[in-house]
Amino acid sequence: MTHPFMDADGDKLREECGVFGAINAEKASAATALGLHALQHRGQEAAGITSFDGHDFISRRGLGHVAENFSSPEAIAELPGTMAAGHVRYSTTGGAGLRNVQPLYAELASGGFAIAHNGNISNAQSLRKDLVGKGSIFQSTSDTEVIIHLVATSRYPTVADRLIDALRFVEGAYALIVMTPTGMIACRDPLGIRPLVMGRMGDAVLFASESVAFDVVGAELIREVEPGEIIFVDFAGEIKSLHPFGSRPARPCIFEHVYFSRPDSTFAGHSVYEARKAIGKELAIESPCDVDLVVPVPDSGVPAAIGFAQQSGLPFELGIIRSHYVGRTFIQPSDSARNAGVKRKHNANRALVAGKRIVLIDDSIVRGTTSLKIVEMMREAGASEVHFRVASPPTANSCFYGVDTPERSKLLAARMELDAMREFIKADSLAFVSIDGLYRAVGAKGRNNACPQFCDACFTGDYPTSLTDLAQTERKSDELPFADRSPTDSRAA
């Protein structure tokens, strides 16, 4: 689903959300708010925090940035207790609106139950239909609420066992932080598609989508939550770990290295910043360019451009200056408004690029519209040649695991071959890093096609789980008379 808080053309992939949790922390909600600030890049549409004071669960949720909702002492004071969990989100499955802002909360037979979820359940609609048929009443359109109803209807005796039972029905990607009256539960899907890490701050145990959140709150990174692992932490500080789903080869999302994670985070045991520099070096080896300057498309293209420049021996220069005070850009109805939106965010460093042959380095090309405008901007600034290099393989497939992706028909790489893509963005040359080059940059020898080390479905179309809702949607579409068919989003609805 395209939402109103994307770039001017919806021309960047957006992570659905970020999660943070703290238990046995003196000021749990304050730590959670600070952690969410560090994860703001993972979701800028809405933010929420739920705390537990030993008796009651208290929630505060709002549309907008973390600072708009949790920057005042009064807002934090409304969320007392030594346990809290928070969430920042973009809307993919479920759409926008306050009722879908997490953590979601419900009163179960066993007491309060709050859940924050990063990811996407690819059989949520099928499960929801079955639950509604049995009498469940949903309060949101979020796929996350399916987990609450599965827990509520499970016949196992403890909340922990009910959660495990519920997750056995779930397919897709999830990193969860759950709060109950007895403590906090953190878990990750069996393939580890979405990230989740564990930290410590004094007696407090913390969980977060990225390690950078621990740096900001002054906590120590302990380790990643393992794929398929469920960790229980109680108010006495006891930590228990289970692996109830068996052992499968992990498939973490490789796009965390390319774009989603902050460069000062670590992911899958590697520095994200160093991985992005290494991708740039692989790109320079595979697709060298005879130019005067290496110019990053800010900010996400900067580390890869540094690596490209170091490997090729070319000068690295800031030929594009980005304004950091534009704020969120709403989708605009006309080409002139869209162009103005891009120029408010990026402006050519005319004195530097005029008369120069340049190579632009960006993290990805999605629809291609922003790439086209940036190339045109460089030519208008007087660049004699404009080449384009991309620090990821062509994005030719939609994601169904918690990333807001345009439908496949709108992805440039799904519609065009390489030379047609080059003509579309009006570059003198265009090249992407290879899938093996990407794998080498993140510490592998190359892609093991028989057992890939990452989820790379957006590049390869090799989805690591079943896609039940998508299959059912496509089957229904095939059953419609031709005249009744209309274009639909290829994402799970």
Tell me the pLDDT tens digit for each residue of 314-333: 999 999 998 877 554 433 33
421 shares its domain with 281: yes
232 shares its domain with 297: no
Other CB atoms within a 10 A radius of the CB of residue 423 amount to 11
pLDDT at position 382: 97
Whether 159 shows a pLDDT value over 90: the answer reads yes
Tell whether 163 is covered by a domain. yes
pLDDT in tens, 441-463: 999 999 999 999 999 999 999 99
Burial class (CB in 10 A: 0-12, 13-18, 19+), 407: middle
Whether 252 shows a pLDDT value over 80: the answer reads yes
455 catalytic, yes or no?
no
CA distance 156 to 188: 21
63 shares its domain with 180: yes
359 shares its domain with 397: yes
Number of domains in the chain: 2
Last residue of a domain, which of 250, 283, 306? 250
Whether 334 shows a pLDDT value over 50: the answer reads no
Strands 357-362 vs 429-432: parallel, antiparallel or unpaired = unpaired
Work out the average pLDDT over 324-349: 58
242 shares its domain with 284: no
Whether 115 shows a pLDDT value over 50: the answer reads yes
Work out the average pLDDT over 12-19: 76
Residue closest to 104 by CA, chosen among 140, 53, 65: 140
Whether 140 shows a pLDDT value over 50: the answer reads yes
348 shares its domain with 240: no
The domain that contains 106 carries what CATH number? 3.60.20.10
The pTM score is 0.89
Tell whether 480 is covered by a domain. no
115 shares its domain with 229: yes
Tokens, residue 56: 């009651």
The domain that contains 393 carries what CATH number? 3.40.50.2020
Tell whether 321 is covered by a domain. yes
pLDDT in tens, 411-443: 999 999 999 999 999 999 999 999 999 999 999
240 shares its domain with 279: no
CA distance 88 to 20: 9
pLDDT at position 473: 81
pLDDT at position 324: 73
The overall average pLDDT reported for the chain is: 89
Work out the average pLDDT over 64-77: 95
| Domain assignment of residue 338, given as a range | 273-441
pLDDT at position 48: 97
Tell whether 416 is covered by a domain. yes
Whether 488 shows a pLDDT value over 60: the answer reads no
227 shares its domain with 168: yes
Residue closest to 211 by CA, chosen among 253, 252, 268: 268
Other CB atoms within a 10 A radius of the CB of residue 382 amount to 14
434 shares its domain with 289: yes
208 shares its domain with 346: no
Tell whether 2 is covered by a domain. no
Tell whether 450 is covered by a domain. no
pLDDT at position 394: 97
pLDDT at position 340: 54
pLDDT in tens, 212-234: 999 999 999 999 999 999 999 99
pLDDT at position 489: 32
Q: Rg of the Cα trace of the chain?
A: 23
Tell whether 460 is covered by a domain. no
165 shares its domain with 121: yes
Tell whether 257 is covered by a domain. no
